[in-house]
Amino acid sequence: MRLREDTAADPDRDPVAVVHAALDAGVTMVDTADAYQNEELIGRTIRGRRGEVLLASKFGLVWGAGIAGSFEVRADPAYVQQACEASLRRLDVEVIDLYYLHHRSDTIPIEDTVGAMSDLVTQGKVRALGLSNVTAEDLRRAHAVHPIAALQEQWSVLQRDIETQLVPAAAGLGTVVVAHSPNGHGLMHQVRRTADEQLPSDLRAALEEVAGAHGATPGQVALAWVHHRQQVHDVPVIPLPGTTRVSHLRANVAAADLDLSDDELRRLDPTQAAS
């Protein structure tokens, strides 16, 4: 999401080097969106290695011209087609492997949006469909129109709202959960500098304790916790840690090898630790 051309002078933050380091490490999914405003960069970066990449992009968020950070949602069928064709041009690819609706619409029935997305599959412009920022009911209604391969939502040891309704719905439908912000937008990497109101003291202590036992960092433990959720919920889970540094990328990849014990997982769950 934050990869930009203007950091290329720093070898550790060169966006091309970051993506290539991921591919070299065996990471296969590269996730972007038209709203990230870097599809051209991603397209150039993966050129020559397209066969190694499961390329995901998103549509539906249109930035407002006035207030910084404001956006509107466009999910009408005509815009679906328009947005996809624009992304294909920017990415300079013939097909997008996984295409998401970036945010639910309050005005366009999700059946209409997914119906138009399904047309993209028929046209050969998209291989699979995904949803992001939706409800469990949205997911079920969408899946009735066309199989939803992936659900992308925020999921971390700090943010678990998804487990109440969305994860059970995804598990029931056979939808993979892509967990964005698995390190709490970087909070887990900054445990020692994080104020109590941002990260509960018991969770902070647990992250540090488990990290110490493994010779890892709290951020790596938090990422490993997300990897382990697929065992808890019986649903495939793909953590999606965004990074702009090669060094952080390598640390994130290493977290996949952390095997947390049942006791450690309970230690990271305040509700179970207190019981």
Q: What is the CATH number of the domain that holds 82?
A: 3.20.20.100
Long-range contacts of 124-127 (CB under 8 A, 24+ apart): 124/94, 124/95, 125/84, 125/85, 125/88, 125/94, 125/95, 125/96, 126/84, 126/95, 126/96, 126/97, 126/98, 126/99, 127/95, 127/96, 127/97, 127/98
Higher pLDDT: 188 or 267? It is: 267
Kindly state whether residue 200 falls inside one of the protein's structural domains.
no
Looking at residue 274, its amino acid is A
Per the structure, the count of domains in the chain is 1
Nearest one of 157, 166, 141, 146 to 99, comparing CA atoms: 146
pLDDT of residue 69 exceeding 80? no
Kindly state whether residue 52 falls inside one of the protein's structural domains.
yes
Q: What is the CA radius of gyration of the chain?
A: 19
Kindly state whether residue 201 falls inside one of the protein's structural domains.
no
d(CA 236, CA 111): 25
Kindly state whether residue 16 falls inside one of the protein's structural domains.
yes
In this predicted structure, what is the pLDDT of residue 78?
97
Higher pLDDT: 65 or 134? It is: 134
In this predicted structure, what is the pLDDT of residue 193?
53
Kindly state whether residue 172 falls inside one of the protein's structural domains.
no
Average pLDDT across the chain, whole number: 93
Kindly state whether residue 140 falls inside one of the protein's structural domains.
yes
What is the mean predicted confidence (pLDDT) over 246-260?
Answer: 96
Kindly state whether residue 13 falls inside one of the protein's structural domains.
yes
Kindly state whether residue 182 falls inside one of the protein's structural domains.
no
**Matching residue, tokens 């697929």:** 230
Q: Which residues are catalytically annotated? A: 36
pLDDT of residue 269 exceeding 80? yes
- Domain assignment of residue 135, given as a range: 1-154
In this predicted structure, what is the pLDDT of residue 64?
77
pLDDT of residue 254 exceeding 80? yes
List the structure tokens of 45.
């970066």
d(CA 227, CA 64): 35
